[in-house]
Amino acid sequence: MTQAPEPPVPADANDSHHEPPGFDRLLGAALAPPPLPPGFHAALERRIAQERAQDLAARQRALAAEHAQEMARLRSGTLSLQRDTLLTIVAGSFTVGAAASVGLPLLARRLGTDASTLATVIAAAGALCLASLAVWGRTRFLR
């Protein structure tokens, strides 16, 4: 028993209906389009314009709400960053103070100098290191 050949696949295989090509053209020739009520096109244009205006207003409201939320998030992030920076500075200051109160007398005795001179030299060296890092960081980002 031989099988019948497969029917040809329509040009638009993704279409939900599979009518033969030209079906719409033949149907359009056989049937007259129904009459439209008077003012149909004007009413259609008004409705399209109204939908566009409502859609634009809704998008503007949504964007304004999103902008307000984003600004609130940024403000809270800025406050958090400022608080964290302040806490880091305070903690670093206490740590350096504790290290200096313990380390400076020991280092001054070992080097045979007074603590005030040693503190001045260490502060100057630290400031030079921080300034060098700041300059290096800026020039790296300028490249």
Q: What is the pLDDT of residue 18?
A: 60
What is the C-alpha separation between 129 and 125, in angstroms, rounded? 6
Q: What is the pLDDT of residue 72?
A: 87
What is the C-alpha separation between 123 and 99, in angstroms, rounded? 13
Tens digits of pLDDT across the chain (143 residues): 455 555 555 555 445 556 566 888 888 788 887 888 889 999 999 988 888 888 888 888 888 999 999 888 888 887 788 888 889 999 998 998 888 888 888 888 888 888 888 888 888 998 999 888 888 877 766 55
Residues in the chain: 143
Q: Which residues contact 10 (CB under 8 A, 6 or more apart)?
A: 18, 19, 20, 21
Q: What is the pLDDT of residue 27?
A: 82
Give the number of other Cβ atoms within 10 Å of residue 118's Cβ. Answer: 18
Phi, psi of 6 (to 5 degrees): -65, 140
Domain ranges of the chain: 43-111, 113-143
Q: What is the pLDDT of residue 142?
A: 56
Distance of CA 67 to the CA centre of its chain: 12
Q: How far is CA 123 from CA 45, 117, 119, 128, in A?
A: 77, 10, 6, 9
